[in-house]
């Protein structure tokens, strides 16, 4: 399911980069029918995105039913219920971003499209959390717990990292949608310098801060992880993703702003660099979320914390 959701994020990125969100102008039907339309041009991206989303929705609903029928663990029931509700909300956001083209102010259309992209990555992290909490490794105690003196700092830093990556996601999604809809080479032209100043510059400045927080948080965790691979591996993976994301960010900047400023969109290099940049960002947010959960799991139990969050009995486990 996680791989399918990642594929859905890539498909959504291709819809945005190819400016194909209105290739199918209605929702929930496609050209007034539930039959398969001709999959050519922008319809291939938009309707393909919808088909993948529908498939994942079925999987999520099945997971929720299976979990509620097979376990009494409150946190798993809550997460799967949130996932089922979230998949409905995400579908409605996507539908409204299409339908609003007929009646809404352009700024509302951009806000809906941005919210749809951001919420998709929230769902990605939520489903990954369900997968983590139902995995076999989660049923085993950590190889080594974090010292009580270090636990509060590590939880704060990993939580801050997730927050900073989320802010980075919002800024990046806003810039991308504004540039695609209102930037140079479009019918509704907005001054490029204003878009860069309002959206891209904050995105780049926050990237520097986020990178610093990432390095501090992951180094702190890995130094105190001992032999706990569930803490070391996410930290190491985040370092690899950070390097890749910085390179992809430079590539996206060059292809979108520097080299193709006045070129009608979409352009091949721009599409692939921006979609890859978005995908790497989603993987960073997911990995940081997993790291934050693992840090909480390896921390000494705080007063009032439920034991079931730290260890799930195998006979009540649900496998994703």
The residues spanned by each domain of the chain are 1-134, 143-305+308-312
User: What does the chain come to in residues?
Assistant: 320
**pLDDT for position 143:** 52
Q: Check pLDDT > 70 for residue 176.
A: yes
Q: Check pLDDT > 60 for residue 317.
A: no
Q: Check pLDDT > 80 for residue 64.
A: yes
Q: Give the integer Cα–Cα distance in Å for 170 and 306.
A: 33
Residue 206's pLDDT band, with cuts at 50, 70 and 90, is: very high
Tens-place pLDDT, residues 119-144: 999 999 999 999 998 888 787 766 56
Residue 214: closest CA among 239, 233, 178, 183: 239
Average pLDDT over residues 134-157: 80
Residue 280: burial class (beta carbons within 10 Å; 0-12, 13-18, 19+): buried
Residue 282's pLDDT band, with cuts at 50, 70 and 90, is: very high
**pLDDT for position 185:** 61
**pLDDT for position 271:** 83
Q: Give the integer Cα–Cα distance in Å for 197 and 191.
A: 10
**pTM beyond 0.75, yes or no:** yes
User: CB-side exposure of 105: number of CA atoms within 13 Å?
Assistant: 3
- To the nearest 5 percent, what fractions of the chain are helix, strand and coil? 75, 0, 25
The widest CA-to-CA distance across the chain, in whole angstroms, is 61
């Amino acid at each position: 399911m996680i791989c399918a959701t990642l594929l859905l994020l890539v498909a959504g990125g291709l819809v945005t980069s190819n400016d194909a969100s209105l290739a199918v102008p209605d929702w929930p039907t496609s050209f007034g029918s539930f039959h398969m339309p001709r999959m050519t041009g922008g319809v291939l991206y938009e309707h393909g995105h919808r088909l993948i989303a529908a498939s994942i929705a079925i999987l999520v609903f099945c997971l929720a039913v299976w979990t509620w029928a097979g376990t009494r663990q409150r946190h798993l029931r809550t997460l799967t219920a949130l996932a089922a509700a979230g998949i409905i909300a995400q579908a409605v956001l996507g539908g409204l971003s299409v339908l609003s083209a007929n009646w809404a102010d352009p700024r509302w259309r951009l806000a809906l499209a941005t919210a749809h992209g951001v919420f998709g990555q929230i769902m990605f992290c939520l489903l990954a959390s369900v997968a983590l909490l139902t995995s076999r490794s989660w049923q085993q105690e950590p190889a080594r717990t974090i010292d009580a003196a270090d636990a509060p700092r590590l939880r704060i830093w990993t939580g801050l990292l997730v927050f900073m990556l989320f802010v980075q996601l919002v800024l990046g999604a806003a810039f991308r949608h504004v540039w695609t809809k209102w930037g140079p080479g479009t019918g509704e032209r907005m001054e490029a310098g204003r878009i860069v100043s309002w959206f891209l510059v904050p995105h780049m400045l926050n990237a520097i801060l986020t990178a610093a927080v990432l390095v501090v948080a992951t180094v702190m965790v890995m130094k105190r992880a001992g032999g706990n691979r569930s803490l070391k591996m996410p930290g190491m993976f985040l370092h690899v993703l950070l390097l890749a994301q910085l390179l992809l960010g430079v590539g996206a900047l060059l292809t979108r702003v520097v080299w193709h400023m006045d070129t009608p969109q979409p352009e091949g290099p721009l599409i692939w660099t921006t979609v890859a940049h978005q995908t790497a960002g989603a993987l960073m947010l997911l990995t940081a979320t997993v790291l934050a959960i693992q840090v909480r799991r390896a921390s000494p139990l705080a007063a009032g914390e439920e034991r079931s969050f730290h260890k799930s009995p195998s006979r009540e486990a649900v496998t994703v």
